[in-house]
A and B are shown apart, each in its own frame.
Chain A
């Protein structure tokens, strides 16, 4: 393990010391690499190119980047010579060839910023690589080979494609917000352009979905082949690991493709509806923005409370909820049933009312009990830190009203007493068992000196 770690460290150190040459950090060098690779692909120069062709490519980059003084050819050549090109002596002439690393590097860059969907013929890749042939499941070695060389390359391809697609869709959806801005030039034309982009993206997603249709075939074959690997524990473990990996990969990719598709469909539908009422939507959105700004500018904060501009009317909503403003006073002595020929007693209502009254009584009783306990504590000269008691009461009582009643009871009882100091700190705290916030309160017994 330690050897492995030290090897890894050595490798990292070697990358760090060569970093400047491994990853060019100036735009000139990157442009030069991309330019040479593009020229080779377009057959403007050969794979093996001359010093002059190299220098011409440098000059083109200088023009592209508007570097009036040109680019130091020796410096840039030195930087690239370590990892990006090899020098060949052909006859009397020195020629250059890009390394595989340089080619992969430029491809990675290009694919990252402008994925080429048109050429990603996923379906063909999958028909060739993804399906399990009967021969692949005859032995664990062949099965491992399929996993390493066919399945994994397909998986890498699907993942890269899905990543790019997702990023691209997110970016385009974000770009759509510009359409709602009021000063867009020719918005209807822009909508049409966006519709075309999303149409194409939709087709790409369909491509991934179609490619994934192979998954059921693969999963079925994997399932049926399990018998082949049951005889040896080692084989079974390898089979099981591959099986689990394949299933979870398909599940993951399925949900990602679905989510991409949803985003595309939503954007397309919205684009079509926007086409008809764009102007109105832009104006309305702008008005709401302005109204928000007006509220932010015109509102004040007075003693921690937000107050809207006085010109604004208050808006009311219906709100009907039973609430008890005072502890209920129930006088059973005076209670008698109203005698009326028209009076029909609702038994269910009566039962519920009695239940409610019993609950209120229990609440009063428990409040009194807690108050009495706390009173005894104070009489013994102990300090009452109400927030601690609040937690205690809440964990015992299944009713928030009890601690609140206790709190008011305490204030009422001790607010004018000389032997107990009531201290209220207007700092909010939230008890562990509740989501309401209260001020902190302390009751301290004091010694009275006569």
Chain B
């Protein structure tokens, strides 16, 4: 292992987690750790590629053990369309590891809906690049086949015309939701001002979080239809 230039005079070699003795750890461990702890999904793209390289190389050489033993968390490697992505996950339902309930965020409800929409678009664009422009989102919510449902959800009501102020407000809400997606690494901005972004392979994580529901969607739909207040 390359351990050059990192020792201070009192440096003590770490035999438990040898990767920490490397020059690469000195350069990238802190950023990787901050990213993982803040819920980010690390992928081999853009600014994250160095972190991805680091995690990918040390994943089985102590890094995943480090998180398990010291934080009680699981460092996971998942694939979407053959692209690997990494993230920190809780060991099992109800157990939050050393993060506890204080260092946990519950996904915002609007975010869940938009993430599923983005996942759907990602799958739809199977043959293309996964870029989305604001116009495309606008088309879905204003002209698409489920426009009434979208409008009810975003504007709180259905009517023929909405005022520019109402539309601006909805745009701001969507922008904030997309910012959350970006923070988690589910999208990356191509142009923030123009709301032009690319959906990243890690959007697949939302499908992992709601795997049971997606697999049993027929049952859920049936339940919903039978319990709609008349």
Q: Which residues of A contact B (CB under 8 A)?
A: 173, 176-177, 180, 263, 266-267, 270-271, 274, 281, 284-285, 287-299, 301, 304-309, 311-321, 428, 430, 437
Contact = CB atoms under 8 A, between A and B. Distances in A.
A292 B127 contact: no
A288 B207 contact: yes
A294 B106 contact: no
Contacts of A291: 116, 210, 213-214, 217, 220
A100 to B, nearest CB: 41
Contacts of A306: 109-110, 113, 153
B146 A318 contact: no
B169 interface: yes
Interface residues of B, number: 52
Given A301-B152, A428-B169, 13 more contacts: A177-B127, A281-B123, A285-B123, A292-B117, A294-B224, A301-B154, A308-B109, A309-B224, A311-B223, A314-B107, A316-B96, A318-B36, A319-B39
Nearest to B209: A315
A319 B214 contact: no
Dominant SS among interface residues on chain B: helix
24 contacts: A173-B128, A177-B126, A266-B127, A266-B128, A285-B123, A290-B217, A291-B220, A294-B220, A296-B113, A296-B149, A296-B150, A299-B153, A306-B113, A309-B220, A311-B224, A315-B210, A317-B39, A317-B104, A317-B107, A318-B89, A319-B105, A320-B38, A320-B99, A428-B169
B112 A321 contact: no
A180 to B, nearest CB: 6
Interface in B1-58: 36-39
Given A284-B123, A288-B120, A301-B153, A318 B214 contact: no
Contact of A320 (B37, B154, B156): B37
A12 B45 CA distance: 53
Interface in B92-146: 96-97, 99, 103-107, 109-110, 112-113, 116-117, 119-120, 123-124, 126-129, 146
Interface of B: 36-39, 73, 88-90, 96-97, 99, 103-107, 109-110, 112-113, 116-117, 119-120, 123-124, 126-129, 146, 149-150, 152-154, 156, 169, 172, 184, 207, 209-210, 213-215, 217-218, 220-221, 223-224
A318 B123 contact: no
A376 B8 CA distance: 55
B95 to A, nearest CB: 11
A172 to B, nearest CB: 9
Given A297-B224, A317-B104, A318-B39, A307 B109 contact: yes
B147 to A, nearest CB: 10
Contacts of B156: 301, 304
A317 B184 contact: yes
Nearest to B179: A435
A295 B116 contact: yes
B90 to A, nearest CB: 7
A316 to B, nearest CB: 5
Contacts of A313: 213
Given A263-B128, A271-B127, A318 B104 contact: yes
Contacts of B96: 316, 318
Given A285-B124, A297-B224, A316 B106 contact: yes
Contacts of A320: 37-38, 99, 103
Contacts of B89: 318
Given A296-B153, A315-B107, A287 B215 contact: yes
